[in-house]
Amino acid sequence: MQNILITGACGQLGSELTTELRNIYGSDHVIASDISEPNLLIADGPFEYLDVLDRPRIEEIIEKYNIGIIYHLAAVLSATAEKNISQAWKLNMDGLLKVLDTSKEKKLDRVFWPSSIAVFGPDAKKERTPQSSACNPTTVYGISKLAGEQWCSYFYRKFGVDVRSLRYPGLIGYKSHPGGGTTDYAVDIYHKAIKGEVFDCFLKKDTALPMMYMSDAVKATINLMQAPAERITIRTSYNISGFSFSPKDITASIRSMIPEFEIQYNPDHRQAIAESWPHSIDDSPARTDWGWKPEYNLQSMTEEIIKNLPVFWNMETA
Ligand code: AKB
């Protein structure tokens, strides 16, 4: 069997995707890699230190483990990217190019790379943004994701690299922590609410953004990667949608379970990033091509997180 390599496996998506892929294919077949120490979720299987800018090291790991599939997740997210433009560009672009070129040279079976709703800029349609709406991003992160999509399409057309991609909305989970995104508030808010603390929100109360519960994001990623190649008609990146909400909406959802929860609003530089993005996404091609359908909505996600986050904290400290 060919094995799977995940870069950026200690990140928010990487940790939960590694766990699920190990459930499906067996721990020994899924190699987690990152520049950070493995966290609790991914500590039960093979782990390699990997800086994705180090191409010889990527090749060494591919050979050592007979890697056939890469999930290349290592990236700098939107808010952090605005603070360090060149480092974000280098990691997001050079990292992707090294993975794509190595995949071509080593004739890997398949590659996954995450894009984002950040490819859309202020002139895209705001509601139910279609797959082909104007992509004129105004953030470094968005520019890197848009360029990355074109590189994926190029490597597919020119060299036949079977690279597949999703434009993730904000991802929300309780088992792992986000780092440096504009949608991160929607994870932190649950931590504060359960601890009984006031939440200081860096977005305005009516700023609606597309979001998705992490188990839906993991399911979408694996479904896309398992789909027969002939079902994949989009080789840049697929729109996918879960649900949309504003800080005001998530507050109401949390208050349905924790009525005393308090929030205050102090918008910062991330407000401008959020305002440049769509409010909601039309994901018709993903539904038609490979059967995408989310399971969670805002309320079912809130209920699951509020029930399980304290249990997870106990496991972390045990
Ligand atoms: C971010 O906020 O940067 C990410 C994203 C929407 O891609 N969560």
**How would residue 2 be classed by pLDDT, with cut points 50, 70 and 90?**
confident
| pLDDT of 107 above 90 | yes
Query: What is the three-class DSSP state of 260?
Result: coil
* Helices 185-195 and 298-317: angle between axes, nearest 10 degrees: 70
- Give, in degrees to the nearest 5, the angle at Cα 41 between 69 and 174: 110
Cα-based angle 227, 292, 224 (whole degrees, multiple of 5):
30
Give me the catalytic one of 49, 65, 71, 141. Answer: 141
Atom of ligand 1 nearest to the CA of 178: 8
Separation between Cα atoms, residue 18 and residue 41, nearest integer Å: 8
Tokens of 159: 């060299």
- The verdict on whether 141 is a catalytic residue reads yes
Q: Establish whether residue 168 lines the binding site of ligand 1, counting it when its CB lies within 6 angstroms of any ligand atom.
A: yes
Instruction: Please give the domain boundaries of the chain with CATH numbers for all domains.
Output: 3-169+213-239 (3.40.50.720), 172-210+242-281+296-317 (3.90.25)
Triad 168, 78, 147: Cα angle to 5°: 70
- Residue 178 Cα to ligand 1 midpoint, Å, equals 9
Q: What is the pLDDT of residues 59-98, one digit of tens each?
A: 999 999 999 999 999 999 999 999 999 999 999 999 999 9
8: left (phi over 0), alpha (psi -120 to 50) or beta: left
Query: Which residue type, as a one-letter code, is found at position 186?
Result: A
> With contact defined as beta carbons under 8 Å apart, do 286 and 240 qualify?
yes
Q: Quick check: 22 pLDDT over 90?
A: yes
Q: Tokens 């079977």 sit at which residue?
A: 162
Relative to the CA of 209, which ligand 1 atom is closest? 6
Going from the Cα of 258 to the center of ligand 1, the distance in angstroms, rounded, reads: 27
Q: From the alpha carbon of 141, which atom of ligand 1 is closest?
A: 3
What is the predicted pLDDT for the residue at 179?
85
- In DSSP terms, which residues pair with 67 in a beta bridge? 3
Please provide the distance, in angstroms rounded to a whole number, between the alpha carbons at the two ends of the chain.
35
Could you tell me if the CB of 118 is within 6 A of ligand 1? Answer: yes
CA dist 84 and 59 (Å) reads 28
Give per-residue burial for 191-216: e unless 16+ CB within 10 Å, then b.
ebbbeeeebebbbeeebbbbbbbbbb
Ligand 1 neighbourhood includes 76 CB (under 6 angstroms): no
102 ligand 1 Cβ < 6 A: no
Phi, psi values for residue 195, rounded to 5°: -80, -5
Question: pLDDT at position 246, please?
Answer: 98
Residue with tokens 């038609």: 288
At residue 6, the pLDDT reads 98
Indicate which residue's Cα is closest to atom 4 of ligand 1.
181
Dig out the tokens for 157 from the structure: 């057309």
Q: Please, which pLDDT band fits residue 317 given cuts at 50, 70 and 90? A: confident
**Does the beta carbon of 281 sit less than 6 angstroms from any atom of ligand 1?**
no
Pocket test for ligand 1, best of 82, 171, 237, 245 (most atoms within 8 A of CB): 171
Q: Mean pLDDT, to the nearest integer, of 283-311? A: 97
Supply the residue whose CA is at minimum distance from atom 1 of ligand 1. Answer: 181
**Alpha helices, H only, 32-94:** 55-65, 78-83, 85-89
Burial class (CB in 10 A: 0-12, 13-18, 19+), 227: middle
Phi, psi dihedral angles at 107 (to 5 degrees): 55, 50
pLDDT 10s digits, 213-266? 999 999 999 999 999 999 999 999 999 999 999 999 999 999 999 999 999 999
| CB-neighbour burial class of residue 147 (10 A; exposed 0-12, middle 13-18, buried 19+) | middle
For the Cβ of 137 lying below 6 angstroms from any atom of ligand 1, the answer is: no
Q: Please indicate whether residue 237, judged by its CB atom, sits closer than 6 Å to ligand 1.
A: no
Joined together, the tokens standing for residue 154 give 């190029």
For the residues 1-8, what does the mean pLDDT come to?
94
- Helices 55-65 and 95-105: crossing angle in degrees, nearest 10, is 40
